[in-house]
A and B are shown apart, each in its own frame.
Chain A
Amino acid sequence: MASDSDSDGDFVTFGTPLEPLEEDEPLRKPVPLYEQTVKDEKGRYQRFHGAFTGGFSAGYFNTVGTKEGWTPATFVSSRQQKAGRQNARPEDFMDEEDLGDHGIAPRQITTTADFASGRKDVIRDKARAITSLSAPIPGDTVLEDLVAPARSSMGVELLRKMGWKDGQGVGPRVKRRLCKQRADSATRAFGSASPPNGSSESQDEEDGEFVPENVTFAPKDVTPIDFTPKVDLHGLGYRGLNPLAALRGGPGTGHINLFTMDSDRTNSLFGEDRKGQRRRGGVAGQGFGVGAMEDDDEDIYHRDIMSNYDTVLGGEEPGNGLYGWTAPQQYNRKKKDHSKDAAYLGKILEGFTLASDKLETKTIFPPPNLPRDFRPVHYFRPVVDLSSVSPMVAQALQTSRGHMAQEEPSKGGRHQLDSAQRRELLGEATLQGPSSVFDLLKVEDRERLSSLRRPSSDTSSGPRQPTPGEARAAVVAAGVAAAAARASAQKALSSRFAPHAEQQQQEALSVWSGPTAQAQTGQTFKPFERTPHKQARYDLYIDQLKQGDRDALELSLDPTMTEWERGRERDEFVRAALLYKPSSSSLSCRFTRGKQDDGVEADTVEVTRDQENDVDDKQAAVKMKMFGKLTRDTFEWHPDNLLCKRFNVPDPYPGSGFVGMPKVKRDKFSVFNFLTVSESPTASASPAPQGVKPSEPGKRSRWDVSGQAGDKERKEKDPVSEFLSVARIEASGSGPEASTTDGPTTDPTVEPDTEQKEEEEEEESRPSMDLFKAIFASSSDEKSSSSSEGESEEEEEKEEGVRSKAGTGPQISNQLNVNTTQPAPPVSTTPSQHPDILFKTPSGPAAAPPPRDQEMEEEEFGPRLPPPSSTLTAERRPSPTPSAKDDKHKKKCKEKHKAKKHGKHKKDKKQKKKHKRHKHKGKQKKTKKEESSDSSSEGSDGNGQEEGGGVSTEELLRRLKSIRVTVL
């Protein structure tokens, strides 16, 4: 899109724009590598040096501030203002780089030592390490630390003021519950006469025991988790050379280990310390070799042991749980030997050790109380398969026992579901490609395979069949009388022990293809209703059976299933077909079938469930301008899931299987359907005079609606006459097109009048306007412009109309076809309401319309488009190309004929057409006359075919009906 100057100011630019490229400018050489220097924001070269020491660049080549040299601080001292003594701080010698984020003294908000947490900050540690290195006596800093005043942070001070003491936890004081400890100590008290050691612990316990009720305790101190961030690039747990450890070696053998930290990790990491206390000194650490002077070859590689780590979250507490990290030393140490514990128990027998973990006591539940009338005898009920039982039996069993012996597969465990059911449960889509190996085979191969397979499957399926007598027995028990006779026959058959499956299939075929079954169109029972796929296959099978197809079973089975599944289904289908066979004629004559059958039938039609309210009421409401509840209908409507996604709204009906309005099935051949389907004139032809208003979803023209909405009295009158009067009104009240319209629509303007006139004479007993409209669509959508015509023309026009009807059978059929695909052209039976929108034709397009234009315009209805301006059309009007359309439309034909007759050039004709628009009726009369004679000469190209206008209405209707029949 070209840029607009107005919107230039609205642009927001990001980044630096490239320099405008001059076309004639020579290509610039790229800057060589050595000239690509880095400069800081002041234009000074930034030099990288001292990478190992983390060196920095300052001043002018690390010397002075600028190239000009050092700017000395000015010293001003006067009598009034004596210059004070200036103490130079380190910051005075730093430039902004040093004070920046990456300098040596970054200015940032830090916590002062007062408020710092207990964790020592890294910088101080580092500084102390350096000083200790340089100190004459290694370990000097240790002394300093000892001597250093005890400083506690602000948090600790505050806590102390609140009553906190060292070694306590933070939080409200609690009453200690001692039940568990008491139990422990009780057991111990029994066994221990005199504890030899660990007296302090036992003392503690006893102290705890004698705590009075009103004494509260501070909460237990909890070791804070060390959240020291890992900032180095070493592996987890690795600690490199430790200068502290290296230099502290030598003389300090019996030295207090002041560096012991409390966390387990540091202990383990300093694990060497204890071992290597004999070491002379020198640098040591992980991965650092052992010198030649060392006497023992130590393991230079640190071995971490899993016991250094907690393997259990929140594992055992050190001590008795009274103390945390500030606990006295003995609690903090791990107890090494269990024998100390054993001391409480007295002596341990030889060869026994104390169990490390306690035995779990088994809880013993008492046996259930038996009911009084319980008899210890089991009674086995007969197991009946639900799918093999008639519904009555099933129901009886269910009521008697409360449940079925074997539920439907969908109720069973997941192992009983087939793949399709699982897929549905999981919400997966159906596999598209070939789901079976057999699909990949060629057709002939498949047939060969199946022919090989069939005998084997038949024989194999034979033994699997349960004895038909069993199923039969169930049927008899259910009281299905008709089955009894056949059951005996079946028994006789089964006694012969032919292949059962084959027999049963034959039997099913004979039963279902019988005349009674054929009569019974609706299938009443659905044995596999819970699995729709299976039911669909079963329905297919039944249908095939009804048609007498011998291969019904094989055809209906799902080829994608496995052989075993198919075999099972085969059995089930045959059995089901036998069991739910159509009732015999004797029975069926006693019962009448349900009127509402929701089976899949061809003679029903889908109708939207929610119907619109009465249109009459609404019209009344509109007249009274009472919009709102009266004129509003609200329906449930299901949008497509994808549409919701695209509109970024959640699906209002998730999981609903359909889109649009909910549909229900209706009988196709109901009177209502007949009355409303007015798409084709044939359908509307017969029942139209009744004028009943149903609300059907079929596509109808608005004109029908308004017609039906009209008053009944108005219906009584001849719609045509009304129509005509309206047309007259319209013509007299000049619409906008009276001044502006023109275009290719010319001569046929006369035709509607002719027909209307003619139809005016035919009274009462005629079909609705829809029919005529449909048939004469080509002509009637022209604007009827003449209203005051003499009687003499009417005669001719009548003839003309009659002749056109009689002579244009194929054309009508052609239009009928059009009308079935397209919505019906509008016909208004209540023209007083929409008087001005009747049969206006949109004026032709301004520029070359394709040959189909005429056709399309004929289909047009509803509000039309205004005409293009006359000047434009005059300039760009193409020469008409009537050749292609001649045989298509009557109108065209006439036009052409007329052109021939007058011997005029086409251009002239156009001009005339336009001219004629604005002419008066007298002129139109004339052309009409001409035209009627023209069109009458369509067949014979002759004049004066006075057919006397004697074709009666009945004759017309009869012809129309015959046309309809042929069309259909």
Chain B
Amino acid sequence: MSFPQPKPEVPQLPQNLLRTIDCQQGAVRAVRFNADGNYLLSCGSDKSLKLWSVSRGTLLKTYSGHGYEVLDADGSYDNSQLCSCSSDKTVILWDVATGQVTRKLRGHAGKVNCVQFNEEATVILSGSIDGTVRCWDTRSRKFDPIQILDEAQDGVSSLKVSEHELLTGSVDGRVRRYDLRMGQLHVDFINSPITCVCFSADGQCTLTSSLDSTVRLLDKSTGEMLGEYTGHKMKGYKLDCCLSSKDTHVLSCSEDGHVYCWDLVEGSLMLKLPVGKAVVQSLSFHPSETRLLTAMEGRVQVWGAEPEETEEEVVVVQQEKA
């Protein structure tokens, strides 16, 4: 029995447009893959949160209950729950199947910028413009947060959760990493308002994008800078950045309507993906495959490594029309 030869690892870039979804929900503030990457969530400025199938581009469910535009959303690991945050200062925990509001968590004093489940979806973490991160318990019936992290001196713009760590980026130009296991708070000074923070997949690095049009890759343990990625434009808007699923590339939205993609090690610009004319507001990389979601204005675009057959796309478009 002969084993198949391992495929030559060609780092592929999501440069082919597979699908364009017109979300019909105003400006799409954020677009996110679910845990396995089969579905996507789009946060609309018309107060609705929509769940789509990535492969077909069909709308599966609309979640309405927010009082103002939805700014971020996240899906639980088992796809049974969603959480979303909004400018109406609330965080909502949704039941995926029924579309009902499981819990509406109030407590933030300002609009809530970012929201994340922890690994087991037992805690929702939300960062708000009021400078706090609140940890909400999804298990108990209490409506008070477990803990309020008020170390940020300005609004919290981005937040990511790993196994036992919490990474927050704040407008005060600092990236804070709360290590629950060690009981420590590491603050990295960036000197520019942070728009987005990410963990790398191996958990050794953090990626921060800031309003000085720079994306920086920092060593998680020491805070040293491992890479700096420039060329895009991020000066006024809160735009996303991310790493590719295999940590080979760094991707960032830009205000010039492109998604910039750098090689992580070399820092060279590998791809300048023309998305449109307006600002690319949000992007999300598939957890395992080479697939990218971008959100511009009211549309979500799905990008892949290989072009898909156009036949299906036509069908999709027809469905959209219908």
Number of chain B interface residues as a range: 35 or more
Q: Considering the chains assembled together, what is the distance between the CA atoms of A167 and B181 in angstroms?
A: 63
Which chain B residues numbered 82 to 139 have a C-beta less than 8 Å away from chain A? 87, 96-97, 109-111, 118-120, 122-123, 129-131, 135, 137, 139
Instruction: Point out the residues of chain B lying under 8 angstroms from A7, CB to CB.
Output: 38
Contact of B302 with A by CB under 8 A: no
CA–CA, A705 and B27, complex, Å: 32
Beta-carbon contact of B154 and A649 below 8 Å: no
Minimum C-beta distance from B28 to chain A (A): 9
* Closest CB in chain B relative to A633 CB, distance in Å: 4
Q: Which of B61-69, B243-251, B261-269 contacts A (4 or more CB under 8 A)?
A: B61-69
- The one of B26, B110, B225 in contact with A625, judged by C-beta atoms closer than 8 angstroms, is B225
Q: Does B236 contact A (CB under 8 A)?
A: yes
B193 touches A834 (CB 8 A): yes
Q: Cβ of B278 < 8 Å from any Cβ of A?
A: yes
- Given contact pairs A1-B39, A635-B184, A660-B150, A861 touches B171 in the complex (Cβ within 8 A): yes
Q: Do the beta carbons of B155 and A861 come within 8 Å of each other?
A: yes
- Tell which of B110, B131, B148, B154 has the most Cβ of chain A within 10 Å: B154
B180 touches A644 (CB 8 A): yes
CB contacts (< 8 Å) of A739 on chain B: these are 277
Q: How far is the CB of A705 from chain B (nearest CB, A)?
A: 6
Question: Are A836 and B235 interface neighbours, CB within 8 A?
Answer: yes
Q: Does B238 contact A (CB under 8 A)?
A: yes
Task: Report how far A2 CA is from B57 CA in the complex, Å.
Answer: 13
- Within 636-661 of A, Cβ neighbours of B (below 8 Å) are at 636-640, 642-644, 646-650, 652-653, 659-661
Q: B49 to chain A: closest CB distance in Å? A: 14
On whether the beta carbons of A699 and B153 are closer than 8 Å, the reply is yes
One of A649, A697, A847, A860 near B45 (C-beta < 8 A) = A847
B306 is an interface residue with CB less than 8 A from chain A: no
Q: Is the CB of A700 within 8 A of B279?
A: no
Answer yes or no: A612 CB below 8 A from chain B CBs.
yes
Residue among B122, B147, B182, B183 facing the most chain A CB atoms (10 A cut-off): B183
Partner of A740, one of B69, B192, B278: B278
In the assembled complex, the CB of B229 is this many whole angstroms from the nearest CB of chain A, namely 13
Contact A632:B222 (CB < 8 A) given known A4-B38, A863-B236, A863-B237 = yes
Task: Check if B300 is an interface residue, CB within 8 A of chain A.
Answer: no
| Interface: B74 (CB within 8 A) | no
Contacts A629-B222, A635-B185, A872-B297; A1 near B279 (Cβ below 8 A): no
Q: How far is the CA of A840 from the CA of B222 in the complex (A)?
A: 35
Taken together as a complex, chains A and B put the C-alpha atoms of A826 and B211 apart, in Å, by 15
Q: Does B301 contact A (CB under 8 A)?
A: no
Please state if B69 and A845 are interface contacts (CB–CB under 8 Å): yes
Which residue of the partner chain B has the closest CB to A853?
B68
A451 within 8 A of B: no
Output the residue of A619, A864, A866 with the most chain B CB within 10 A: A866
Cβ–Cβ contact A862 & B96, under 8 A: no
A5, A659, A836: most-surrounded residue (chain B CB, <10 A): A836
Q: Nearest Cβ distance between residue B285 and chain A, in whole angstroms?
A: 18
Query: Chain B: which residue is nearest A608 at the CB level?
Result: B151
Interface presence of B191 (CB below 8 A)? yes
Cβ of A633 and Cβ of B298 under 8 Å apart? no
Number of interface residues of A (CB under 8 A): 83
Given A632-B223, A637-B184, A866-B278, A6 and B55 contact (CB-CB distance below 8 Å): yes
If A863-B211, A866-B278, A868-B298 touch, whether A631 touches B223 (CB-CB below 8 Å) is: yes
- A700-B61 in contact given A845-B69, A846-B45 (Cβ < 8 Å): no
For the complex, is B79 an interface residue (Cβ under 8 Å from A)?
yes
What distance in Å separates the Cβ of B137 from its nearest Cβ neighbour in chain A?
7
Contact of B51 with A by CB under 8 A:
yes
Residues of B with C-beta under 8 A to A621: 189
Q: Does B168 contact A (CB under 8 A)?
A: no
| Interfacial residues of chain B within 200-239, with CB under 8 A of chain A in the complex | 211-212, 216, 218-219, 222-225, 228, 233, 235-239
A737: min CB distance to chain B, Å = 8
Most interface-central of A640, A647, A833 (chain B CB within 10 A): A647
Query: Is B87 a contact partner of A647 (Cβ separation < 8 A)?
Result: no
Are B45's CB and A640's CB within 8 A? no
In whole angstroms, how far apart are the Cα atoms of A627 and B228 in the complex?
Answer: 11
Task: Say whether A823 faces chain B, with CB atoms less than 8 Å apart.
Answer: yes
Given A736-B278, A846-B26, A862-B129: A634 touches B185 (CB 8 Å cut-off): yes
Residue in A697, A821, A856 whose Cβ sees the most chain B Cβ within 10 Å: A856
- Chain A residues numbered 870-909 whose CB sits less than 8 Å from any CB in chain B: 872, 876
Complex Cα gap A837–B192 (Å):
11
- Shortest distance from the beta carbon of A735 to any chain B beta carbon, whole Å: 6
B183 and A868 contact, CB distance less than 8 A: no
Q: How many A-B residue pairs have CB under 8 A?
A: 280
Best-surrounded residue of A631, A661, A833 (most CB of chain B within 10 A): A631
A701 within 8 A of B: yes
Whether B236 pairs with A836 at a CB distance below 8 angstroms is yes
Residues of A within 8 A of B170 (CB): 702
Contact A625 B228 (CB under 8 A): yes
A865: CB under 8 A from chain B?
A: yes
Q: A615 at the A/B interface (Cβ < 8 Å)?
A: yes
Q: Tell me if B149 and A660 are in contact (CB < 8 A).
A: yes
Knowing A740-B278, A864-B236, say if A633 contacts B186 (CB, 8 Å). yes
Task: Please name all residues of chain B whose beta carbon is closer than 8 Å to the beta carbon of A643 when the two chains form the complex.
Answer: 123, 135, 146-147, 180
Cβ of B60 < 8 Å from any Cβ of A?
yes
Q: Is residue B178 contacting chain A, with contact meaning CB distance below 8 A?
A: yes
Partner among B51, B111, B131, B255 whose Cβ is within 8 Å of the Cβ of A736: B255
Q: Is the CB of A646 within 8 A of B46?
A: no
B313 within 8 A of A: no
Q: Give A1-29 as 1s and 0s: 1 = Cβ < 8 Å from B's Cβ atoms.
A: 11011110000000000000000000000
Beyond A1-B60, A661-B151, whether A863 also contacts B131 by CB under 8 A is: no
Specify which chain A residues have a CB less than 8 angstroms from the CB of B181 in the assembled complex: 649-650, 652
Question: For residue B97, which residue of chain A has the nearest CB?
Answer: A1
Judge whether B272 is part of the interface by a CB distance below 8 angstroms: no
Chain A hits for B278, CB < 8 A:
736, 740, 866-867, 869
Q: Does A800 contact B (CB under 8 A)?
A: no
User: Least Cβ distance of B110 to chain A in Å?
Assistant: 6
With A632-B186, A849-B68 in contact, is A646–B157 under 8 Å at CB? no
Query: Are A627 and B216 in touch, CB under 8 angstroms?
Result: yes
In the complex, A571 has a CB within 8 A of chain B: no
| Shortest Cβ distance from B213 into A: residue | A836
> Does A817 sit at the interface, judged by CB under 8 A?
no
Q: Is the beta-carbon distance between A863 and B195 smaller than 8 angstroms?
A: yes
Does A859 sit within 8 A of B, measured CB to CB?
A: yes
- B235 — nearest CB in chain A belongs to which residue? A836
Cβ of A850 under 8 Å from chain B: yes
Q: Does A628 contact B (CB under 8 A)?
A: yes
> When A643-B146, A660-B150, A863-B238 are in contact, do A628 and B183 touch as well, CB less than 8 Å?
no
Contact (A2, B131) CB under 8 Å given A618-B189, A640-B146: no
Contacts known (A612-B187, A822-B130); A646 close to B147, Cβ less than 8 A: no
Q: Which residues of chain A come closer than 8 Å to B188, judged between CB atoms? A: 627, 631-632
A826 to B236, CA, bound (A): 13
A821 to B38, CA, bound (A): 42
Complex Cα distance, B40 from A954, in Å, reads 58
A622: interface (CB < 8 Å): yes
A770 to B79, CA, bound (A): 45
Q: Is the CB of B45 within 8 A of A868?
A: yes
Query: Can you list 7 A-B contacts (CB < 8 A)?
Result: A4-B56, A5-B55, A619-B189, A637-B178, A642-B147, A647-B122, A737-B236
Give 6 nearest A-B pairs by CB, closest first: A652-B183, A868-B27, A869-B297, A846-B26, A632-B223, A863-B238
With A1-B51, A647-B164, A702-B173 given, can you name 6 additional A-B contacts, CB distance below 8 Å? A622-B190, A634-B186, A639-B183, A646-B137, A861-B129, A862-B129
List the interface of chain A (C-beta within 8 A of B).
1-2, 4-7, 608, 612, 615, 618-619, 621-622, 625, 627-629, 631-640, 642-644, 646-650, 652-653, 659-661, 697, 699-702, 705-706, 709, 735-737, 739-740, 821-823, 826, 833-834, 836-837, 840, 845-850, 853, 856, 859-869, 872, 876
